[in-house]
Structure 1
Amino acid sequence: MFRILITDDEPMIRMGLAKMIKQAGLFDCEIRQAAHGEEALQVVEAFQPHILFTDIRMPTMDGIELCRRLSEQGRSMRIIVVSGYSDFEYARACMDYGVKRYLLKPVGRQELHELLLKLRATEEEKPNLSLVPVRELNDWAMRLESAIWELRLPDVKELLEAWSRRYPAFSLMPEQTAELFQEMLELIVARMNARGNGTLNLPHDIFVSVSHNKYFESLAYAIEMLMSRIKERRSGKRKHPVEEAKAYLEENLRREVSLEEIAAKLGLNPSYFSQLFKQTTGQTFIQYRIRSKMELAKRMLEQPGNRITDISYEVGYADHPHFTKTFKKITGLTPSEYRSRLGIE
């Protein structure tokens, strides 16, 4: 049975998160709650949770101090920070204490479900890396992330060479080695995202191999891709990712642009992008896309020379009845009725 602890100073958030975890049905679990970090430390001592969800801003003891204390105690639980988009810079300190997973408030069922699946796989299927000190792994990740962020390629190469001399001392099996390198990569990306925009995703996963060189080749290639993305973003002034997404969608309203397509274009994790888009616009991506298409249709309907069937195709609806139904759902009028209101026959 999995033991889960939820720490937040708002009772409704604690109870809501606990309810969603139970309803997901992925864990046979016991869930306990704490109102702040100090209470959480007491619960951890007696409860020994496998997974901890914690807010950042709490009275008495905040989430960062809680993570620091748990790290000092050598606790091996998985920690998920639940924060607002504006708290990412503040949450950066958590990287030093092994935190590499985040949920964006308000927490959605789909995002939570995906995270729980990953946590279940991590806890049930992967070997235990207790032979690798958490502090040391965090230190290597911190040094590598700093060199990557500052585009210091010689230092990156030097750190990878030093790591290649160090990690054999842990005497890990191939499966454990793959997890170790994956953990390193995830920590690096998490530290980068905590710098403020949270918009980089993993270039790829690191898989089990019989060759030690393969692990380093895979890690080096991932780092190369990360550095390339950083260079690309710094070549011009970058807008807020949601504004970029909206602009891209406006340019492509005549076809069915998917959330995954835009997320990939922006270098975002689709799940994270979905949360961020809804939090920023108040609408899901699909809702926004449909409304944008109908706004374009309205502008085209205002031009007497445009036939309604042609407009339907122009906004990406090959099925004309479906277009009519959608337009009426959004505007309250059929396309013909909308034109009649404008005095256009």
Structure 2
Amino acid sequence: MYRILIADDEPMIRKGLHKLVEQSELPIASIRTAENGAVALQRIREERPDFLFTDIRMPKLDGLELCRLVAEMDADIQIVVVSGYGDFEYAQKCLSFGVKEYLLKPVNKKAVHHVLEKLAKHKSKQSTETFVAVTKLERWADIMESAVWMLKEAELDELLEEMRLELTGSRLKLNRLVEVLLELHALLHKRLNAREVYLLHNELCLAEAGDETEAWARFEKDVRDRLAELKTRRKGKLKDPVEEAKQYIEEHLAEEVSLEEVADYIGLNASYFSQLFKQSSQETFVQYRTRRRMEKAKKLLEQPHWRITDISGEVGYADHPHFTKTFKKYAGCLPSEYRQKMGIKS
């Protein structure tokens, strides 16, 4: 699946190119546009495209400078310069910045599709040349997980250096290196989760890494942080995130607390927290909160001075009928019937 960015200050050119690219037979993940070079650069930093179509004369940042910056940032991005006949000589200055193809305005369907086919073939060849075996990634992940789990810092240092030297020797482009490092990160956390080790801040952000050195440094720091966090946790100096979440829920049973709110409170991504909570508790966030509310409702129902309507509000149900229905589903009887079983008159 290819990601494509189109930069041109003329709206009609942008729309036309977008439509022509869309009509190609290539598998396309996304087509984004930018009205000038500065916006295009920002788009690239947000998500690196596979192919960049850029005009030469644009405000704020022209195409020539954009090509230069892209070449410095990630030479793996294939650039197509779209220029008018009068700008062709000027456009040729981009040759030193790794421009792959030129398109003369006005562009047509046949020319665009031909260029896309050539870019795709080059991309396919490039991917083969920079292939990293899955078995190698799995082996590295196994050793990393073992070193982190056993707190073997020297062994981890040795592995990280081995990985760095081998990946550097493979001459991976920045976007390819980022993909490999993110895969290794995911494999490491999968193995730690299998041991029921749920570490904080499990997200690794490499999208803003300016070069290979920075991407590697961020990855290495993250792995070392995992070991340090585990060491601190074993000394009892770090709260378990799920236990901290449960305590927060307990203190706010009377409120309609959302999963997102609790995740934000303990500093975790909501999606990861949801997965982590279920793995640790064997029930979802909502199931756990409902169960704790019903258990508290039972305790209050066992105290004669509490009115049933007040209890529903005390455990977070503004709608009394909803509370009654939920309690019956959980306890097998209505709140009033539960009280009768306890020998208490409602």
Structure showing greater relative contact order (alpha-carbon pairs closer than 8 Å, 6 or more residues apart): 1
TM-score under structure 2 length normalisation: 0.48
The structure number with the bigger radius of gyration is 2
TM-score by length of 1: 0.48
